[in-house]
Amino acid sequence: MEAIRAPRGTRDVLGDESWKWAHVLKVCREVACDFGYSEALLPIFEHTELFSRGIGDTTDVVEKEMYTFTDRGDRSITLRPELTASMVRSYLEHDMRRLPQPVKLWGWGPMFRYERPQKGRYRQFQQVDFEILGASSALADIETIDTSMELYRRLGISNLQVLINSVGCPNCRPAYRAALKTFMESRLGEFCDTCQSRFERNPLRVLDCKKPGCRELSESAPLVVDSLCGECREHFDVVTSGLSEIGAEVRVDNRLVRGLDYYTKTAYEILAGELGSQNAVCGGGRYDNLAEAIGGPHVPGVGFASGIERIVLTMEGQGAHPGEAPRTDVYVVTASPDSHMAAASLLHEIRVSGISADMDYMNRAVKAQMKHASSIGAGLVCIIGDEETSSGTVGIKDMTSGVQESAPREEVLARLAAWRESRGTGR
């Protein structure tokens, strides 16, 4: 019988990598605290209409990529493909409008999209998500982008560039939509089938098509910035000038519309240039009409999302320090079967004192235990045998210097703590 493997597009994140994810999340929490965000832990599945109405039924996500099923109550349920719609749903459901505005939320967890797996992209992937809800000011856009930039700076990622555009609003977008349709009409047959199907429903998606032929055709398409209303133009100018004030490297990309329908005004990505065609480490923007699209009142919002896999790959590519790998400070070696309980008791005391420690559970010989202690990077070994048990002492060996000494049992914890302090190995 063939062994069962993980489904295509998923992966196991094991101990040699998971600690890097923990470091990323630690920095996320620090940034969230410094910028005033509260953590929100939301369900990984939602009613399908949250995404079909919120993200847009003409997007690739809704049309091709969602994991949707009917549950036992005959309800259509979807594993979340992104977190913004869920954040807005939560804001509305818990009546957060009664709270001081804006409400700043951040969260993280698994997302699900059925797409072709490639480097840094999986069908189940982990994202961090930051949202500001209730603020229409362009200053909130600047803060959102500054938050994402600061996150990457603290993670040691360099060569950051903000790719930005404005996609307008319901007041000015109809004029651009009409201009884009006029442009497409005479060469519609040259676009891919997907773009042709979106000609009537949502022609802006043509600018987001990744197929080379469509990208080449749309190079000469009219620019959305030329159709912006006065409010959107002013908003965009404030955002771009504000980013210059905080020292961000900014490049306007007139083709950037993002892949989701809920964006209004600001749309942006941050590039780090380490993953080839997948060099965007985050994407975000403003979505002032999302709350209304899912049945709520008008609630302006702006935010961004970033894949943890993408972040870790970028850090590795740039040689950024990924934090400290977990390690065992002390290994307790038992020199005789009769000393097992004394060793287990010492192990318990060491751990309770806040020092990482382990011992042998495989009935290895002393030499093999020492070898194992070395293999897991233990800095000190505590040795307990019949002689140590009877004399109330413990042998302590420094695995770096090779120096071994004997210490009274009651002094062991103090000596271990002093050793760790001298090595700077405190947590």
CATH number for 93: 3.30.930.10
Nearest in space to 271 (alpha carbons), one of 320, 213, 310: 310
For residue 193, the Cα-to-chain-centroid distance in whole angstroms is 33
Q: pLDDT at position 234, please?
A: 97
Say whether pLDDT at 427 is over 80: no
Q: pLDDT at position 129, please?
A: 98
Q: pLDDT per residue over 285-307, tens digit each? A: 999 999 999 999 999 999 999 99
Q: pLDDT at position 240, please?
A: 96
Angle at CA of residue 76, ends 75 and 78, nearest 5°? 135
- Specify if 204 maps to a domain: no
Q: To the nearest 5 percent, what fractions of the chain are helix, strand and coil?
A: 45, 20, 35
Cβ atoms of 191 and 214 closer than 8 Å: yes
Domain count, the chain: 2
Shared domain for 45 and 137, answered yes or no, is yes
CATH code for the domain in which residue 354 is found: 3.40.50.800
DSSP bridge partners of 121: 118
DSSP bridge partners of 77: 47, 69
Q: pLDDT per residue over 16-56, tens digit each? A: 999 999 999 999 999 999 999 999 999 999 999 999 988 87
Domain around 391: 330-423
Q: pLDDT at position 62, please?
A: 78
- Specify if 276 maps to a domain: yes
Of the residues 318, 350, 371, the one at which a domain ends: 318
Q: pLDDT at position 278, please?
A: 56
Q: pLDDT per residue over 72-121, tens digit each? A: 999 999 999 999 999 999 999 999 999 999 999 999 999 999 988 877 78
Say whether pLDDT at 63 is over 80: no
C-alpha span between 427 and 425 (Å, rounded): 6
Assigned token pair, 200: 């009537």
Burial of 359 (0-12, 13-18, 19+ CB in 10 A): buried
* Cis-peptide into 102, omega within 30 deg: yes
Q: pLDDT at position 426, please?
A: 47
Q: Where are the alpha helices (DSSP H) in 303-380?
A: 308-318, 340-352, 366-375
Write the single-letter amino acid at 350.
I
E strand intervals along 134-272: 161-166, 250-252, 264-271
Q: pLDDT per residue over 184-194, tens digit each? A: 888 888 889 88
Q: pLDDT at position 424, please?
A: 67
Cα end-to-end distance, the chain, whole Å: 46
Cβ atoms of 274 and 318 closer than 8 Å: yes
Counted residue by residue, the chain has a size of: 427
Q: pLDDT per residue over 224-275, tens digit each? A: 888 999 999 999 999 999 999 999 999 998 888 865 667 899 999 999 965 5
- Specify if 254 maps to a domain: yes
DSSP bridge partners of 251: 163
Write the single-letter amino acid at 221.
A
Shared domain for 162 and 102, answered yes or no, is yes
Cβ atoms of 179 and 227 closer than 8 Å: yes
Of the residues 271, 296, 318, the one at which a domain ends: 318
State pTM to two decimals. Answer: 0.89
Query: Angle formed by the axes of helices 340-352 and 412-423, to 10°?
Result: 50
- Strand-strand pairing, 250-252 and 264-271: unpaired
Count of Cβ atoms closer than 10 Å to residue 402 Cβ: 7
Q: pLDDT at position 198, please?
A: 78
Assigned token pair, 47: 């009613």
Of the residues 279, 294, 318, the one at which a domain ends: 318
Shared domain for 167 and 299, answered yes or no, is yes
Burial of 422 (0-12, 13-18, 19+ CB in 10 A): exposed
Q: pLDDT at position 415, please?
A: 94
Count of Cβ atoms closer than 10 Å to residue 390 Cβ: 10
Cβ atoms of 122 and 102 closer than 8 Å: no
Percent of all residues in the chain with a pLDDT value above 70, rounded to a whole number:
96
